Structures are given as structure tokens and as C-alpha cells.
Structure 1
Amino acid sequence: MSAAPPGLPAAEADAQALAPFTTWPDGPAGAALSQLQVSGMYCAACAGLIEQTLLKLPGVAAASVNPASARLALRWQPSALPLADVLAALRAIGYGAAPDTAAPARELRRRERRQALWRVFVAGFLMMQVMMLATPAYVAEPGELTVDLDRLLRWGSWVLTLPVLVFSAGPFFSGAWRQLRAKRLGMDVPVALGIAVTFIASTGALFDPTGPLGHEVYFDSLTMFIALLLLARWFELGARHRAAEALEAVAGSLPTTAERLNGDGTSERVAPEALRPGDRIRVAAGEAFAADGTVLRGEGFVNEALLTGESAPVAKTVGDAVAAGSINLDGPLVMDVQRVGADTTAQGIVRLMQQAQSQRPLLPGLLEHVATWFTVGVLLLALGAAAAWWWLEPSRALAVAVAVLIVTCPCALTLAAPAAWLTASGALARRGLLLVDLSALERLCAVDTVVFDKTGTLSEDRLRLRRHWAEGAQADALLAVARSLAALSRHPQARSLAGGAEAGAWTDVREMAGRGIEARDASGGLWRLGAPAWVRERPDPAARLAFGNGDCVLWLDLAEAPRADAADTVAALRQAGLRVRLLSGDQPRAVARMAAALDIAHWQAGATPAAKLAAVRAWQADGERVLMVGDGINDAPVLAAADVRIAMGEGAMLARSAADALLVSNRLSVIPQALVLARKTRRVLRQNLIWAAAYNLACVPLALTGWLPPLAAGIGMAASSLFVVLNAQRLAR
């Protein structure tokens, strides 16, 4: 890590250097959680080897590598272990790593992609040349191909196979060596062994056609096998890189500068890192917002597609929230900065996606463990097959052993679950639902009850003025005055009432918690806006807010409005056979009104957090599997108790990770889509597992009996891995 700048403590300098890819879940004094992008991974066994190596380092508490995304989540103590030592330990076992920030990770992927492409190109091009040299031996009639010409063609095939073996197949041998040195049996071991045995046997047959290895050579089969397997890994690498690039698209969405407005009327261009809550910035048309906040002046349309997945522009006016990374499409907007840096919506999305893509769910880890023992069985089986055929027909023993080693490589088995889950999580992220826990996909399949909170979940986060009426004055005239006073308050109800109104010439302004705001007008009269009982001794029971000066009173009924897609979402869930319930702590009248508007038959009002928790546990005791959707502010206990938890992603909720998923788009229609995709993911996962098992069950007996040559075994093994990856990509649609 870099040295501390002059005047800056080393610990603080280290924290700043790590900040772009590191969080401190337990506070500044606790362990750091860093996200690193790993290169050189080719199978699930690589993940276990990396974790095993890092856990031996002092200061490392935990290490988790997702084999599908090649992303490492490292929990460690930077004060006890420099980052350079972590990277050196990974290089020592043959892997590269870079901080998971846009520039270093992009350069790492570029090198990895270029090197992989060169390996595929060399293997594919030379494979075609070797096949061309081998063709005469297959098509020539007896006597047409002289012995000298046949040997010359075989020598040419041997020479052309060397670059394929040394360069293109290098990752298989280096991977196998790393796994054996770490006393682990991964998927590279049988592949490397099969390649080596085939080459050695073919070379022996070329040098001594009358020797114990026979006269048959398999250079054409060997080069084709390497080329096909590298092609399958190229497609897998592309899927992994697309997931990383989608993450970087959000991470790189912030502008490099922002126009900050000073109190003296001047402005200056500053870096987004220099902004602080309370600053005012002006965002011109075509520029991206550098921070989260609310609009102070201006109105227009904003493109939030990068953050929410919604391509249609969103109208914004005074008081509306805007998120960092979204783009202003119209005239200039002046906004009040509320959250900057790591607290913004965009950075919250990045952290959550990194967390999800760094997980190693239970099933893939179990499959990797099974694959390790499977590899042991494969090696013993190949050895037994070679011994049996050596006794029956020595010339075929080697070919049978190689075919067994190749056909049983468990690549498809260990890729089955990670490929499906990672692709599905990416598809949901594009719709605006960020999975924090990938295992939630499996739990969503069992859900039969969906429970919604009301305020901030089924309803919009802002109140709307339903109606207003007055005593002793014109209601519309009083409403304009009330809005000018409301503009001076930060209370949510006052802000909803104010809309875009300008603050009036009020004096002696006082805001009292739980009551409201009061001020004097130009003539010295005292006006109050707030709780009806505070404004008037005998309030109107139909009013939620009141405004008056003692002589006249304006009664205001502000009510929640359902989200635009709430009714369609509830209908879609019911049509899918799910029970829909409304569980709210609000007053019965408001809850009944919302339930009626959305046609929800089962609702409960006045529920405290403890009552909500008891209700969910009672439903679970009756056998129901509950999906809870809440705003996460006062729903933490009930969210924790539910089988699946989705929190609305507005504002500060992005700093929370207790939920299984965050609905950053705030579009409820994504929830039924997520349930459908979860079931589709389970089907694809089962298809992948069935395919991998059926392929091995069908091909192993053929290889043992000698009916499956090494070339066909190589094609089948590469095709099985390719099928698993491409089948999982169907979930991205």
C-alpha cells in the first residue's frame, strides 16, 4: 500500500487507499471486508485452494471466493497484514488479483480475456492443421499412403501439437500442479493427466511403432479436445466478465466533477468526494448527479435506468428525491446534497452486488466437495480400466484409461449451480431487485404467502392532499398561505403540503416536535400548521393536518396513495396462487382504505413490531412460507423472522444488509417476476444437474468398454460444460 501523505496518519491513509473496495462492518476498529477480482481461475477447486492459502496468513479472518464470478471477499486486519502480502500470496500459487474497482479490475479482465483468446486461437488453428495432416490416414485406400509419407505426416502432427500442449493447455497443467501441491483433487487433475498420458502414449507410438504403446497416435484427438475445452471456458469467462461489467456500469456512473453553489452566489467545480451534506449543487442538462439529495429548484425528467432498470424518464420537481448516478435530461436542477460517497444509492448498489457475487452458497460448496471425491473415484476407475485392458488387449489399455479420465471430468457438475444463480441474480439486478443472499432464490420457490407493510411499501413515500376545507375564510386562499409556511418545515407532512411553494415572509419561526410549526406574518399575527388539536382545541376528526391563526382554520386531509403498480402486483400474486396479507402499524381507517383500494381481504392494523412478529410466526406455525416486504425502518424484527425478506431500497436502506434482497427500483411489479424467475432458476439448475449426472452415467460405461474413443470423450466433456453455461444464460432474458 502507498505511504501516507504528509501530515496524514498512516492508518488513515491506509483506510483511504482501501476505501474504494473495502467496508468496515464492525466499525473503523474492526476487521475490513475487501472485494478483490481474481484471475487465473478455471474451476471450483481453484476457489478452495485460494481460500485455504489466504486463511493461513496472519490477520485473515475469512476468505470466500465465488467460482462463477471469480470475486474474492476477504475479511482481514489491514493493520496486521499489508495488501501487498495478500496479492503476493495469491501470485505464489499462480493467481492474479486486483482491487475490485473499475480501473484495476478492468485491466485484469482485459489481460485475462486476451490471454484466453490467444490460447483458444492457437489451439483451434493448430488443431485444424493437425486434422489436415491426419486426414490422409483416414481416407487413403490400402497401399495409397506410403510408410515414409505416413511417418512424415505423424511427425508434422507431433510438431504442431507441441505449442498446443505447452501454451494452450498450460492452465490445465498449472492448475493440476497447484491442486496437487495443496493436497486437493480438483477438476484440472484428471484433465491434465488425460492430456499428458495421451501425448506421451502417442509420442511413444511415433518413436517406436512396434513398442508396448502400439502404433496408434491421437494428436488430432488431443488438439481437438484442448480446443473444445478452452472454447467452453471462453464462454464461461465471458459470462463472468459480463456480470462484472454490469457492476462497473453502476460504479462508474458518478461524474468526475460537480458544480457547487456558494452562499455568496458564486459557484465552483469540485470533485464529488469534496461534497458534504447540506451543500447545494447545480446539475446541467446531460450531466449525472454527483450525490443523493432532493430538488430545490427547477423541474424536468431524469434517467434512472442505470440504478433502477427503468428506461422511461422520471419526472422530477421541487422536493423530489434524486439519486447519484442518474442523468438529468432537461434544464438545470438545483439540489440539496443529503448523501455523498459510499452512502449514495449507486455505491450502495455496488456494495450489495459485490457481496452477492462473492458468496459461495451451500449447494455449490457441497458439489465441489462431491466433485473432489468424484475425482478420486475417477482416477481409481481409470487405473482399474487400464489394468483390465492391459490384461485383455494391451494396445487399447491406454486409450480406454484416457477416455475414462476425460469423460468423467466434473466441470459441468460444479458449474451447474453457480452459473444458474449468478445469471439469475444479474437478471433481477437489471430489474431493480438486488439479491444480498443468493440462497434466497431457492427459498423463494417455497413461498406461499406474501405479507406487505403499508407505509413506504404499498404506498408512496409521500402524502398527497386529498381535500381541504375552511372555517371563516376562503379555503384556496388559506391553502396558499399554509403552503408558504410549510416550505419552512422539514417534516414529511409539511414537505408534502408545500410541494414547490416558496417560503413566505414569516418571522419568529418555531418548529415543535410532535406538534408542528408556528410563525408570525407581516402584520404580527401568529399562525400555526400542524396537529389539528394543537391548532384548534376542538379539531375536525376528518382532518389530518390543520392551519390557522385562531380566527380561521383550514382543515387538511393528507392521505397515502398506493404505488402505481401496487394493484397489479397484488393481482399477479393472487393469480399465481399466493396468499396476500397487509400488516401495518397505522390506524385502522388508513389501513382499511389501502386494503380496499388494492383488494386485499386479509389485513391487520395498529400492529406494533412485536405484534407483527407474532403474526408472522403464527402463520409459519400453520405451515405457511412467508415472504415479507417492508421498508425496513420499523420492520426489522418481522423481516428477520420471515422465510424470505425484501426491503424497499429507498434512501438509507441501501446501507442495510439484513434483508435477503433490496428493491432499489421501488417497483413492486418486480416481486412476482422474481418469484417466477426463482422457479425457472430451480428448473434450470435441476436440468444442469440431471444433464451432468446423465452424461456421466451414459458415457462412463462406454469409455470402460472401449466404445468411446478419447476424441469423442473430449467432445462430450467440453460440450457438457458448454451446455451448462449456455443453459444458465437463458435466465438472463
Structure 2
Amino acid sequence: MSASPPGLHAADASAQALAPFTTWPDGPGGVALSQFQVAGMHCAACSGLIEAALLKLPGVAGASVNPASARLALRWRPAQLALADVLAALQSIGYRASPDVAAPARELRRREKRQALWRLFVAGFLMMQVMMMATPAYVAEAGELSADLAQLLRWGSWVMTLPVMAFAAGPFFSGAWRQLRAGRLGMDVPVALGIAVTFVASTGALFDPQGPLGHEVYFDSLTMFVALLLLARWFELGARHRAAEALEAVAGALPTVAERLLDDGGSERVPPEALCVGDRIRVAAGEAFAADGAVLAGQGFVNEALLTGESAPVAKAVGDAVVAGSINLDGPLVVAVQRVGADTTAQGIVRLMQQAQSQRPLASGVLDRVAAGFTAVVLLLALGAGLAWWWIEPSRAVAVAVAVLIVTCPCALTLAAPAAWLTASGALARRGLLLADLSALERLCQVDTVVFDKTGTLSEDRLLLRRHWAQGADADALLAVARSLAALSRHPHAQALADGAPAGAWHDVREVAGRGVEARDATGQLWRLGAPGWVSTAPDPAARLAFGCGDCVLWLDLAEAPRVDAAEAVQALKAQGRRVRLLSGDQPAAVSNMAARLEIAHWQAGATPETKLAAVRDWQGRGERVLMVGDGINDAPVLAAADVRIAMGQGAMLARGAADALLVSNRLTAVPQALALARKTRRVLRQNLAWAALYNLACVPLALAGLLPPLAAGIGMAASSLLVVLNAQRLARG
């Protein structure tokens, strides 16, 4: 056997090293999509700087940074560019990045949080000292404070301000330098300029009270401004870290080892990566499931709160599905592995959350450009105001220019959209609805028609035995025998009838396509389970399934059961004034029955994927904005055509990720809740933008007129940023 080329081994090793934080949308060897956590970001303009720097590297096909979550999604070719070069490029422009794997990302956040806390502490503590030294000058009557003491207090204020300038205000200066070096005007530029001008002017007034800069010092305003702005950024940092921790909670839920059962009756401990589809694993009480699968033996309760948001334990028995990352609460369970690794529900959720948190919403990009233009205008306005006041009253020129710079800082403007969108997506995730596309929040606001698929969406994904009857025989006794034969078939109808019953001692078992299953009992008699016309020459029209031998026939009626909250969800949508439609490929009788039970007036049965697509396009042609909710198995065309797409939480959609959102909890009430929260998010976003605009319109004239001192300007600017973040946090309550 010939050896593999060295380059192939290197490529495999590289792919293995990147695997924990990288996916390959185009297959191995193509463009990789890697997720990083970035430290050192302080505003939305930082996103543009990072993206521009990375796009200059060879092999980088795309870069997107979400300023609210500080998450970088990098599309690149590892064969052309080393990971070390990517991290070095970010380091060269003043940012640190860590692959988004739990441990290093957590350490990165810990260091960032600790440093931010120290900066806030230094600024806040020294602000109080400076304010204490400045107070006598404000409250003393004329002649009470001697000139020497007043000068000593000013010198003390200057000394206390030095650590604030050298350490606490460092992020503003470094951010402004990066933005200017890249030829961009972000919000750090006016902030840093305002801080620097205030300090230089106050220092000049301290050293030469009779000089051109006058005798007024603003060390108290300066330190308070820095402290308040750092406080606002502390809240923003906390929101970003909470979003990242929620993602890691899902990503870190998988166990590090699984017990795989062997054919000889023994077992072995293996890492989850070594599991294959078809393996059997045993999960003890208190352990997490290492893969998606179905229960083969045992029963008990499972906690799926981490995945679905549902805190109540879920009962599991033979045949029930379990998902990786959920916790077995009592009794050992034997599970048949159905999905492993990246195909599991937990990893699918991780990918969706990473995709959503790495996106940079369109509104955010627009606001970045607005903020950049706004900053340029502000700088010209401040320069003009300073020159004008230099002719009017030179001693106030610097104070007016500084006040204009501070009061017009676009912090609130650039925080408005990311803070609201990220908080709303987190609130929906707690309800079990994971957004794969943040822009869907805006499109949800325009929805006036909600279209549901039936099977697997409005109904449970399996049939239930509604009633059974027989003529001249014991129906219950025949039902027990029918269940033992049904356990040998994989047909959905048979599985619904078996309901976990053990298989009987049948011989010559044979599946007949389109008919059912037949087998012989211990006496050699042939029994059939399946279509009524196949089992009996005189079928009962009320039966959906039959079981019998000769004239001894058991009639069975299997029916779909709507999800427990389907009726509540439909009524909530109607209460919101939205049209509700049912679009299904099932038979008219089944569809009309479901529509009647849920009080849906508009329904269509027997719809193929093509007719579903035509129906949605027809509604859209009439001006309707359509939200489609389907199971994603055969609804791909109509899901793609809808204005907003929500897929139920089956595994098929996790692999495809084609929908705007994934309903992993399978609770339909999350749909009207999402529509309501989307409108509330838009309302909060507009409130944030309106506040930022009104604040500037009200305060800029005051600053230009010299009626707004730098201290008041600093308080107003920091308070506006803090208000925007706190207002967005209201969305966390839904």
C-alpha cells in the first residue's frame, strides 16, 4: 500500500485542529467557516476595522463581526492561510481573538471582564476623590477659600486624574487611534478627542492661570465623564458575555465519555467522537446523553431544559427519542444511537446560535455609516464652535468645543440596534425558538398570514389509537395480540399501534408493500395487520387499520392528535389579527378534521410541494406577508418561498439549516410570542433611535450656546448610552 502524500496528512491534521470551532459548508478542502470570540471591541466601528483588516489577507473570502456579541465569523481557506496568521493580523490592529471553543473563549472573557472592572473601579474611585477636591470651589463663599488652598486642591485633582487618563481611558484612545489609522471615524474619535482636549486645556489652565486657556479646570467633569461611559460599556459587556455563555452552555452539555455496549454483553468507555450510528449506549442516572437516539430499554425522566427551555422533566420510555446534551434524571437507559457529532440536535443548535450571533444586522451597518458621517459633522461643528467662542470669549472656547464633542458622541446611536436585536434573540431562545437569521425579527413585524403544515407541525409526529372494536370476539384480547405483531414492523402505523409493546413469537413474518405485515402464530395460522381491505373481504369504512385471521377481525381507528398547545397558538394568532391557514398534503378527511378541531377556517388538503409553493406565491401576489411553519422534511420549496420560515425541531432541519428559525421546543405558542416580541423589538429600537436623536437635537444647541458645561455633557452622553442598553434589556422579559 502506498503512503499518503505528506500534504494530505497536514490537511487532515489542520482540519482536525480546526474542527471544534469550524464547519465546512462546501465540503472538506473548500472554504471553512470558523467562529472566534474577539476581545478589545468597544463600539460598532471596531467591526468594520476588523473586517477590513482580515479581508486583506490571502485566502479570506469573507468576515463578519457582530458588535453586540463580539463574535467573528470568518470564511477562509486554511490551505492558503495559517490560523496563527489570522490571530496575528488581529493582534497587529489592537484586538485579541480566540477560537470559539469553550475554555479559551471563557478565559478571554474573564480577562476582558476583569480588566474592564479594574478600569471602571479606577475611574469611579478617583472620580469621587476629584469631586471631593473640587467641591470647596463650588460651595465656598467669596474669600473663604484662599488662593493657595484652591491651587493645592487643583493640583491634587490633576494628580488624581493622571491614572484615569493613563489607564481607565485607555480603550478610548486606542480605539480612536485604530479608527484614524484605518481612515474611519468611529465613536471613539470624538470621545478621545474630547477627553484629550479637556485634559490639555485644564492642565494648561492649572500651570498658567493667566494664559490663553484661562483659569477654569474641568478635572471633575473629565473623570466623571470617563467613569459614566465605562459604566455604560460595562453593562454592554455583560450583555455580550451572557449571550456567549448561553451558547457555551449548550456546546458544553455533551459528556466527555460514553458507555458503549458490546455484542458480547460487556461495555467500554469511549469518547462521544468514537460513537457511530447504530451503537448502543447506556446512560446512568445523572449523566448526559452523548448522542441523539431512541430508548431501547428502561424508562425514566429526562431534563431537556438546556435544549428546549422546558424546565419540567420529560418522561421517556421505550421508543422515545432523546437528544444529546439532555440529562437522564433517574434509572439507567439503553439508547440506540441515531445521530452523532455535528449531526446531533445540540450541535445543530450551537451552529444556529453561532450563525445568528455572528451576523451583523443590516440596520447595524447602516447605523455605522450614519455614525461615521455624524462624527465628521460633529468634529467640524466643535471646531467651528471653538473658533467662534475664541472671538467671543476666549476663556470659554475650549469648554464649549469640549461640550460639543462630548454631547454629540454617537454611542447611543451605534448601540441601539445590536443591543435590541441580541436581547430579543436571547429571549426567543429561552422559549425554544432559535433564530438563524437576526433580520427575521424585522420581517416578522410585517407578517399578516401564518401558514401551518399539518403532519409533524400542528399534529404530533406519530399516530395514536383512538378506538378499537370487533364483532363476536374480545376486542381487548385481540388488541394485545395485534400489538405483539405490530412491534415487528417499522411502518409508522404499526409503531403507533405497538406503543412499546414486546414482540410476540411469530413465524414467517413478511412485510407487504402498501398492504401491511403478515405472520403465522404457533399453530400455523396466518394473521394480517394492515389495510382493512387486505385483512378482510368486508372492510369497515370507519377503520383505518385492521388485524385478523379469517372471520376474526379487529378494527382499529388511528388518528392524529394535535399538539397540546396547537389550539392555544392558533387562537393567540387570531387575537393578534393575523390570518391562519392550514396547508397539507394529507387526505381531505384528516385535514378537515384537524382544521375543525383547531378552528382554522382556511385549509387546503392534498397539496403537493408544487401546489403548496403556488398557493404561497398566490397569497404573496395579493400583498400578504407569509410566515410558513413546517417540519422541513418535504416543505423545502414552500419554506424557501415564504417571507419568514420557521422549521420544527426535527433533526432533518438541523442538518440543512434552511429556515430563519428553528423551533427546538416544538411548542407552537412560541410562534405568536415571537411575532409579538418582534414588534416589541422594533418599538424598542425606534425608542432608542428617537432618544439618541432627540438628545442630540436638544443638547447640541445648548452646548453651542455655552449653556451646557462639559460635566453636564458627559453625564448626558453616558446616561443616554446606559439608557439605550437598559431599554433593550426589557426585551429579555419578552
Q: TM-score scaled by structure 2?
A: 0.97
Counterpart code for 1:58: P
Deviation at 1:325, TM superposition (A): 1.3
Counterpart code for 2:33: L
Q: CA RMSD in A?
A: 1.7
Residue 261 in structure 1 maps to residue 281 in structure 2: no
Map of 2:686 onto structure 1: 686
Residue correspondence of structure 1 range 290-305 to structure 2 within 5 A: 290-305=290-305
Residue 437 in structure 1 maps to residue 441 in structure 2: no
Deviation at 1:651, TM superposition (A): 2.4
Map of 2:99 onto structure 1: 99
Does the 8 Å contact 1:472/1:551 carry over to 2? no
* Aligned-partner SS, 1:255: coil
Counterpart code for 2:148: D
Does the 8 Å contact 1:343/1:652 carry over to 2? no
CA distance in structure 1 between the aligned counterparts of 2:637 and 2:654, rounded to whole angstroms: 18
Map of 1:57 onto structure 2: 57
Deviation at 1:15, TM superposition (A): 1.6
Map of 2:705 onto structure 1: 705
Does the 8 Å contact 2:45/2:368 carry over to 1? yes
Map of 1:583 onto structure 2: 583
Offset from partner CA, 1:620-665 (integer Å, 9 cap, x none): 1222111111111111111111111111112232222211111100
CA distance in structure 2 between the aligned counterparts of 1:512 and 1:10, rounded to whole angstroms: 52
Counterpart code for 1:388: A
Deviates most, 454-463 or 269-278: 269-278
Residue correspondence of structure 1 range 290-369 to structure 2 within 5 A: 290-369=290-369
Counterpart code for 2:53: T
CA distance in structure 1 between the aligned counterparts of 2:75 and 2:536, rounded to whole angstroms: 58
Counterpart code for 2:726: L
CA distance in structure 1 between the aligned counterparts of 2:313 and 2:113, rounded to whole angstroms: 35
CA distance in structure 2 between the aligned counterparts of 1:426 and 1:694, rounded to whole angstroms: 29
Residue 40 in structure 1 maps to residue 40 in structure 2: yes
Counterpart code for 1:114: R
Map of 1:716 onto structure 2: 716
CA distance in structure 2 between the aligned counterparts of 1:321 and 1:669, rounded to whole angstroms: 22
Residue 592 in structure 1 maps to residue 606 in structure 2: no
CA distance in structure 1 between the aligned counterparts of 2:256 and 2:457, rounded to whole angstroms: 34
Counterpart code for 1:281: I
CA distance in structure 1 between the aligned counterparts of 2:531 and 2:335, rounded to whole angstroms: 29
Deviates most, 599-608 or 149-158: 149-158
* Structure 1 pair 201–7 and aligned structure 2 pair: CA distance change class (3 A): closer
Residue 192 in structure 1 maps to residue 189 in structure 2: no
Deviation at 1:538, TM superposition (A): 5.7
CA distance in structure 1 between the aligned counterparts of 2:662 and 2:513, rounded to whole angstroms: 31
Deviates most, 333-342 or 406-415: 333-342
Map of 1:244 onto structure 2: 244
* Aligned-partner SS, 2:562: coil
* Structure 1 pair 542–27 and aligned structure 2 pair: CA distance change class (3 A): farther
Residue correspondence of structure 1 range 305-704 to structure 2 within 5 A: 305-470=305-470, 473-536=473-536, 539-550=539-550, 552-704=552-704
Does the 8 Å contact 1:307/1:665 carry over to 2? yes
CA distance in structure 2 between the aligned counterparts of 1:69 and 1:513, rounded to whole angstroms: 53
CA distance in structure 2 between the aligned counterparts of 1:248 and 1:535, rounded to whole angstroms: 54
CA distance in structure 1 between the aligned counterparts of 2:378 and 2:487, rounded to whole angstroms: 74
* Aligned-partner SS, 1:560: strand
Counterpart code for 1:593: N
Counterpart code for 1:392: I
* Aligned-partner SS, 1:15: helix
Counterpart code for 1:231: L
* Aligned-partner SS, 1:64: strand
Does the 8 Å contact 2:536/2:551 carry over to 1? no
Deviation at 1:414, TM superposition (A): 0.9
Does the 8 Å contact 1:472/1:553 carry over to 2? no
Deviation at 1:84, TM superposition (A): 1.1
Unaligned runs of 5+ in 2: none
* Structure 1 pair 538–21 and aligned structure 2 pair: CA distance change class (3 A): farther
Deviates most, 154-163 or 417-426: 154-163
CA distance in structure 2 between the aligned counterparts of 1:179 and 1:196, rounded to whole angstroms: 16
Residue correspondence of structure 1 range 27-176 to structure 2 within 5 A: 27-176=27-176
Deviation at 1:473, TM superposition (A): 4.7
CA distance in structure 1 between the aligned counterparts of 2:216 and 2:37, rounded to whole angstroms: 44
CA distance in structure 1 between the aligned counterparts of 2:65 and 2:42, rounded to whole angstroms: 12
Offset from partner CA, 1:462-500 (integer Å, 9 cap, x none): 110112234675433332222222222222222211112
* Aligned-partner SS, 2:319: coil
Deviation at 1:108, TM superposition (A): 0.6
Deviation at 1:534, TM superposition (A): 4.3
* Structure 1 pair 544–13 and aligned structure 2 pair: CA distance change class (3 A): farther
CA distance in structure 2 between the aligned counterparts of 1:324 and 1:508, rounded to whole angstroms: 37
* Structure 1 pair 551–29 and aligned structure 2 pair: CA distance change class (3 A): farther
Offset from partner CA, 1:561-590 (integer Å, 9 cap, x none): 000011111111112211111110000010
Deviation at 1:164, TM superposition (A): 0.5
Deviates most, 98-107 or 688-697: 98-107
CA distance in structure 1 between the aligned counterparts of 2:400 and 2:598, rounded to whole angstroms: 66
Map of 1:277 onto structure 2: 277
Does the 8 Å contact 1:420/1:731 carry over to 2? yes
* Aligned-partner SS, 1:461: strand
Unaligned runs of 5+ in 1: none
Deviation at 1:513, TM superposition (A): 4.4
Counterpart code for 1:261: L
CA distance in structure 1 between the aligned counterparts of 2:273 and 2:486, rounded to whole angstroms: 32
Deviates most, 438-447 or 88-97: 438-447
* Structure 1 pair 284–473 and aligned structure 2 pair: CA distance change class (3 A): same
Deviation at 1:514, TM superposition (A): 3.6
Does the 8 Å contact 1:225/1:718 carry over to 2? yes
Offset from partner CA, 1:196-215 (integer Å, 9 cap, x none): 11111111111111111111
CA distance in structure 1 between the aligned counterparts of 2:310 and 2:690, rounded to whole angstroms: 36
Q: TM-score scaled by structure 1?
A: 0.97
Does the 8 Å contact 2:527/2:547 carry over to 1? yes
Deviates most, 380-389 or 332-341: 332-341
Identity of aligned residues (%): 84
CA distance in structure 2 between the aligned counterparts of 1:241 and 1:514, rounded to whole angstroms: 55
Counterpart code for 2:599: D
* Aligned-partner SS, 2:34: strand
Deviates most, 481-490 or 340-349: 481-490
CA distance in structure 2 between the aligned counterparts of 1:74 and 1:419, rounded to whole angstroms: 22
CA distance in structure 2 between the aligned counterparts of 1:684 and 1:254, rounded to whole angstroms: 36
Deviates most, 622-631 or 173-182: 622-631
Offset from partner CA, 1:662-706 (integer Å, 9 cap, x none): 110000011111111111111111100000000000011111111
Deviates most, 691-700 or 446-455: 446-455
Map of 2:232 onto structure 1: 232
Deviates most, 540-549 or 612-621: 540-549
* Structure 1 pair 161–466 and aligned structure 2 pair: CA distance change class (3 A): same
Does the 8 Å contact 1:627/1:642 carry over to 2? yes
Counterpart code for 1:676: A
Counterpart code for 1:42: H
Does the 8 Å contact 2:415/2:721 carry over to 1? yes
Offset from partner CA, 1:339-373 (integer Å, 9 cap, x none): 11111111111110111111111111101111000
Counterpart code for 2:462: R
* Structure 1 pair 51–128 and aligned structure 2 pair: CA distance change class (3 A): same
Deviation at 1:385, TM superposition (A): 0.6
Map of 2:288 onto structure 1: 288
Counterpart code for 2:369: H
* Structure 1 pair 15–537 and aligned structure 2 pair: CA distance change class (3 A): farther
What is the aligned residue count?
A: 729
* Aligned-partner SS, 1:462: strand
CA distance in structure 1 between the aligned counterparts of 2:85 and 2:129, rounded to whole angstroms: 45
* Aligned-partner SS, 2:216: coil
Does the 8 Å contact 1:424/1:731 carry over to 2? yes
CA distance in structure 2 between the aligned counterparts of 1:395 and 1:150, rounded to whole angstroms: 19
Deviation at 1:553, TM superposition (A): 3.6
